[in-house]
Structure 1
């Protein structure tokens, strides 16, 4: 039985500790409590309140009031609070009109500034684009110039080589002509020598015959 009483006392102490409220000491503690509360039941839908709308002073107050109460007429009577209420509404309407006009002016000036900035940016980009295109064109021309020079060099080299080949061909033909002339002269001389030797032999034969 002593153990049972001890368990009962421990359970009572735990219940007291659970019943103690959590003291919020900083914004992080408050945020943690809210998150824990939301995460206890994730299926529960969260209601997000809408942002407060501006009061429509133009709709609540008519633009044309036929019966206007004066401050002296309503003073000391039961209608003075009506006069104050109408005056407050009129002031609110005038203020709303002024704020709307000011907002429109600011919006128009902002749009004009945006348009001006856009035009300036377009002009800058156009100038930069033109410079970039000029640089590209110059780079292309520079790249083409060495190619043209190389082509000219190759053409000049080919012309030189063709001229040299023509010269060498002419020299070869001249050499061939000279060689052919030499061979012809040698052949003619050989033929003439043979003819002369034959004539001499015949003369010698005729002389020997006469002597006999």
Structure 2
């Protein structure tokens, strides 16, 4: 190039203007823009604090009476004070309603928890009784086999070797009855 020729600046490839047609597309575009430069810090805003009205003044200096002589601007001051007081009362009623709902929810949770504990305790007792019943049946079965073995030894001493195919397998016994009454 010659010294007298001007250099034209090289333009970056501009991205076409995309108008999002839905909230999902808008979110996708925002994510794409964020992911173009992953090292860049992203500001994540915290949840704003709940609005709370100013407390009423402890001492009112300019008391407006019903006497004559109030200026034309006093009505607007009165209207503003009244609006602020109504907002404060509405806020307190809303807080009371939320507190009432929270209390109802907690009582319902406690009641459900107590009902669940009662059911669990009943089922626990039932399982314990069933377990004790099985243990007693097992002991009785052992004693019965011991007495049968003792009587069998007295009557015939020829069958001292047990056949493994004659053993009763515990896993084949069903632990529950299907379709029975």
1:136 aligns with 2:150: no
State the partner residue of 2:121. Answer: 126
1:61 aligns with 2:62: no
**Taking structure 2 as the reference length, what is the TM-score of the superposition?**
0.67
Greater RCO (CA < 8 Å, at least 6 residues apart): 2
Q: Write the distance in 1 (CA, Å) between the matches of 2:67 and 2:130.
A: 83
1:110 aligns with 2:105: yes
Q: Write the distance in 2 (CA, Å) between the matches of 1:19 and 1:73.
A: 69
**Taking structure 1 as the reference length, what is the TM-score of the superposition?**
0.58
Q: Work out which of the residue numbers 96, 101, 119 in structure 1 matches 2:91.
A: 96
**Over residues 96-122 of structure 1, what are the superposed CA-to-partner deviations in whole Å (9 max), with x where a residue is unaligned?**
221222222211111111111000000
Q: CA deviation at 1:61?
A: 2.9
Q: Work out which of the residue numbers 150, 158, 161 in structure 2 matches 1:155.
A: 150
**Over residues 156-203 of structure 1, what are the superposed CA-to-partner deviations in whole Å (9 max), with x where a residue is unaligned?**
345567xxxxxxxxxxxxxxxxxxxxxxxxxxxxxxxxxxxxxxxxxx
Q: CA RMSD in A?
A: 2.9
State the partner residue of 2:28. Answer: 32
Structure 2 gap segments, 5+ residues each: 1-10, 157-181
Where is the helix percentage greater, Structure 1 or Structure 2?
A: 1
